[in-house]
Amino acid sequence: MKCRKCRGKAIIKLYEHNLPLCKEHFLEFVEGRVQKAITDFRMVKRKERVLVVVSGGKDSLTLAFILKKLGYRISLLHIDLGIDEYSEISRKFCEEFANLYELPLQVISIKKEWGKGIKELARETYKSPCSLCGLVKRYYFNKFAYENGFSCVATGHNLDDMVSALMANLLGWRISYIAKQTPVLPEEGKLKRRIKPLVYLTEREIGAYAFLQGIPFSRQDCPYAHTASFLKIKHLLNQLEVSSPGTKYSFYLGFLKNKQLFGEGKVTLRECALCGFPTVTEICSFCKTFRKEEVRNYAGES
Amino acid sequence: MQVKVNGEIKEVRGKKRVGEILEELGLNREEVLVIKNGELLTESDWVEENGEIEVMRVVSGG
């Protein structure tokens, strides 16, 4: 198989684009797609400070690598969820990456903050580990970005993540969630802008890029990953993709073209009475989960 | 040939193209990368009967 650009030996074929590419042109393609997403959706300006949330996995570390290569001003944040060996290994990969590529890295440890990891906290709060994980990560990365003067938060969500979330929410007709599956969630008050520069890229493309660039990343699955319904939906979409290449890309582009059908997903935000961060209710979900005593006292006083 | 998948070694008989190997093992080309001697292979690449390859999963659930 020959590279479409230079007729050299192809090392990958991008079926959705019917495009075989050699190593050099594939790397160029991937970086080009990230820049295209940033430009198309006006995600961030070069002078702005970007906080990249890294988990230690291929997507977030590849995102950080490419943003740095493209000349953006980035810092890294890792949230250590305290899930035993899984979190220890994830953290090590983030630290190794930060050292290797000379990037500032801040680590927030849930165990240090609360004395326990996500598993124990999930049991105590009667929430699933996955929903608690999402709540905690969103709270801390927004808070850190706000308090440290970052213009936006960048996450490693890729095309597969976006279409599986879209499909999952469509199946349940969760309209407000569907509306939020956009590449940029704008800033609102203390809620910093969130950007997803990998939206035009599949997990396969990102994995191949990380491998070819020698980016060290964790290959382990979260011990709770098997409980995530998105994984089953990803698998279904990938089966469709094999029989009809381009399905995922068309599905997502179609959503972007027609997203006005789902409204703007806008809700009226206010400041949490306890922590001051954005919420739709008087007390935010994070405080309701983790500051029960203070919530009770507040309720008693009011 | 020996195919390493998720740390487990599977035996596949004969000389085959990567695409045929993935089909035989029930793997989806969208969810994996195939590596031989530190290089990526495409679906149309051949793997010899005595060859060794690794299949790396790229789908994350988190």
Q: What is the pLDDT of residue A176?
A: 84
Q: What is the pLDDT of residue A221?
A: 80
Q: Which of A229, A242, A247 to mutate to test the interface with B (most CBs of B within 10 A)?
A: A242
Rounded alpha-carbon distances, angstroms, from residue A207 to A189, A195, A202, A212, B60: 35, 20, 9, 9, 10
> Are A1 and B61 inside 8 Å of each other by CB?
no
With 0-12 CB in 10 A as exposed, 13-18 as middle and 19+ as buried, what is B58? Answer: buried
DSSP strands (E only) in A38-183: 49-53, 73-80, 105-109, 152-154
B interface with A, Cβ–Cβ below 8 Å: 28-33, 35, 39-45, 56-62
* Cβ–Cβ contact A137 with B under 8 A: no
Q: Which residues contact A240 (CB under 8 A, 6 or more apart)?
A: A247, A248
Shortest distance, CA B26 to any CA of chain A (angstroms): 11
Among the partner residues A58, A228, A241, nearest to B30 by beta-carbon distance: A241
Q: What is the pLDDT of residue B6?
A: 81
* pLDDT tens digit sequence for A149-191: 999 999 999 999 999 999 999 999 988 888 889 999 999 999 9
Q: Which residues of A28-63 are buried (b: 16+ CB within 10 A; e: fewer)?
A: ebbbebbbebbeebebbeeeeebbbbbbbbbbbbbb
Q: What is the pLDDT of residue A302?
A: 61
Chain A positions in Cβ-Cβ contact with residue B33 (cut-off 8 Å):
204, 207-208, 211
Low-confidence ranges of chain A (pLDDT < 50): none
* Cβ–Cβ contact A81 with B under 8 A: no
The alpha carbon of residue B8 and the mean position of all alpha carbons in its chain are separated, in whole angstroms, by 12
From the CB of residue B54, how many other CB atoms can be counted at a distance below 10 Å?
A: 18
* pLDDT tens digit sequence for A184-226: 999 999 999 999 999 999 999 999 999 999 999 998 888 777 6
Q: What is the pLDDT of residue A171?
A: 92
> Are B43 and A13 inside 8 Å of each other by CB?
yes
Low-confidence ranges of chain B (pLDDT < 70): 61-62
- Distance, CA of B33 to CA of B23 (rounded, Å): 14
Q: What is the pLDDT of residue B23?
A: 95
> Are A230 and B43 inside 8 Å of each other by CB?
no
Chain A positions in Cβ-Cβ contact with residue B59 (cut-off 8 Å):
160, 203, 231, 234-235, 238
* Cβ–Cβ contact A234 with B under 8 A: yes
Among the partner residues B39, B44, B58, nearest to A204 by beta-carbon distance: B58
Shortest distance, CA A293 to any CA of chain B (angstroms): 31
Chain A positions in Cβ-Cβ contact with residue B27 (cut-off 8 Å):
none
> Are B28 and A208 inside 8 Å of each other by CB?
no
Shortest distance, CA B32 to any CA of chain A (angstroms): 7
CA end-to-end span of chain A: 71
Shortest distance, CA B12 to any CA of chain A (angstroms): 22
Q: What is the pLDDT of residue A289?
A: 87
CATH architecture of the domain with residue range A41-265 = 3-Layer(aba) Sandwich (3.40)
- Type of residue numbered A38: I
Structure token pair of residue A200: 């035009």
Chain A positions in Cβ-Cβ contact with residue B32 (cut-off 8 Å):
204
* Cβ–Cβ contact A266 with B under 8 A: no
List the 13-52 stretch of A: residues with Cβ below 8 A of B: 13, 15, 20
DSSP 8-class letter at A220: P
Shortest distance, CA A2 to any CA of chain B (angstroms): 11
- Distance, CA of B41 to CA of A182 (rounded, Å): 33
Among the partner residues A59, A225, A238, nearest to B30 by beta-carbon distance: A238
* Residue extents of the structural domains in chain A: 41-265, 267-302
